[in-house]
Structures are given as structure tokens and as C-alpha cells.
Amino acid sequence: QVHLVQSGAEVKKPGASVKVSCKASGYTFTSYGISWVRQAPGQGLEWMGWISVYNGNTNYAQKVQGRVTMTTDTSTSTAYMELRSLRSDDTAVYYCARGVTGAIFDYWGQGTQVTVSS
Amino acid sequence: DIQMTQSPSSLSASVGDRVTITCQASQDISNYLNWYQQKPGKAPKLLIYDASNLETGVPSRFSGSGSGTDFTFTISSLQPEDIATYYCQQYDNLPMCSFGQGTKLEIK
């Protein structure tokens, strides 16, 4: 069965970077894109961006454009999301999600808590 | 950018009630609309895709309808395990997408 397993919680200082991983199993990794969605405490879902695992193409939300990089390693079926120049409002749970037809998210990772605090 | 207006933001209903949530898009998005359920501390779960298609394994009491700018999500008979927050999501301009603000559903 399909699983997306994310890396553990992170605590970072403002201005630092964080890299979250998402290891996929149970399906052909290159056949689906991966999106990243975050959720600030008590808030709704915010789409951050997408990567085509097939060819590495990316598309980022304007809000994080310039600070985020999404990559994949097909040899380990792992997707990565790096966010730089962290601010307190980046504190959130970060999810990876498999996208069918681009943005029908049928499987999600368990979430990674990222806390930005001085 | 396409804005999604979801209502109500919260809802209290009794077990067995019919529950309806609406989502309005700021422009025509055809049927590119999904619905998710999120329970506290958990990842969202896909319930309905392409406005009206029930995801495999999801109980038939959940349904969706609509096209263009106006969409409806319905639980025909509310069960205790349906307590969650529900989100609509549009994906008219792939690969970008956006979510509604969410509807928190509670038992009366």
C-alpha cells in the first residue's frame, strides 16, 4: 500500500533553513507529482508548491517563491522541501501529498512540525 | 489568483442530521474541486474529487455536487466519527491549487 513518511519535528531560529523529507513507498515514485502543503497553528491549509518527480519541474506559491526549493531523489523515492530565511510565521505543520492529475491529493504524509523561535 | 469562499466556518449538528457545506469560487473552475476531511492532529483525507466523485473506501453518506463557481458538500446522516474540519480545494490552474478556509463540524 501507498505510504508517505516524513522526517521528524524541527526547531529552528529565525533566519535559518529547514529541509523536510518525504519518503514514498508502495507505488511507482516517478508516476506522480508531489505537492507540499502547510498548516499554521489553528489555521487552514496552504499550498506551497509542486514538483514533477518525472522531470523535476517545479511550481511554487508566490508567498514562498524565492525561499523554497523542492527536489526529489528517485534512487531513494524521497521528496524534499527546503525553506530558507525562516520567520516566526513559518511555524506550521508541513505535509507532503501525492497528486493524481496534478492536484487531487489522495495520499498524505503524517506531517512534520517546524517551529521557528528565537 | 482564484479565491475560495467556504461557508459556514463552523457548524453544530446532531447525529443523524443532514449537513451541507458550500464553497464558492471567485471564477469558473469547471468541476476542478475536491473535498477533504481533517481530524485533529491528522493529515487531511480525500473524500470527494472532481466535485462529485466519491473516493474509494469513503462512505456513501458523503457526496458532492456543483460546477462552475458554486459547489456543495453533503453528509446525508451525520455520524459521531464525522466530527472534523472539512476543506474544499480548487485546482483549475494546474499545478497550482488553493483551499477554502475550512468548516469545523461539531456534534450538538
Give the tens place of pLDDT for each residue, A49-77. Answer: 999 999 999 999 999 999 999 999 999 99
Please give the mean pLDDT across all residues of chain B: 97
Distance from the Cα of residue A10 to its chain's centroid: 14
Residue of B nearest to A60 (CA): B96
Q: Does A6 touch chain B (CB under 8 A)?
A: no
Query: Average pLDDT for consecutive 10-residue bins of chain A (118 residues)?
Result: 98 98 98 97 97 95 97 98 98 97 93 98
Q: How far apart are CA B100 and CA B86, in angstroms?
A: 9
Contact: A103, B87; criterion CB under 8 Å: no
Side chain identity at residue A102, one-letter code: G
> In sequence order, what are the residues at sequence separation of 6 or more whose Cβ sits closer than 8 angstroms to the Cβ of residue A59?
A49, A50, B95, B96
Residue of A nearest to B104 (CA): A44
Neighboring chain B residues of A102 at a CB cutoff of 8 Å? 91, 94-95
> In sequence order, what are the residues at sequence separation of 6 or more whose Cβ sits closer than 8 angstroms to the Cβ of residue B40?
none
Q: What are φ and ψ of residue A88, in 5° steps?
A: -60, -30
- pLDDT given at position A38: 98
- pLDDT given at position B36: 98
- pLDDT given at position A102: 75
How far apart are the CA of B16 and the nearest CA of chain A, in angstroms?
27
How far apart are the CA of A103 and the nearest CA of chain B, in angstroms?
6
> In sequence order, what are the residues at sequence separation of 6 or more whose Cβ sits closer than 8 angstroms to the Cβ of residue A4?
A22, A23, A24, A96, A97, A98, A107, A108, A109, A110
- pLDDT given at position A3: 98
Contact: A110, B43; criterion CB under 8 Å: yes
Q: Are B27 and B78 in contact (CB under 8 A)?
A: no
Residue B76 reports pLDDT greater than 90: yes
Neighboring chain B residues of A37 at a CB cutoff of 8 Å? 44, 99
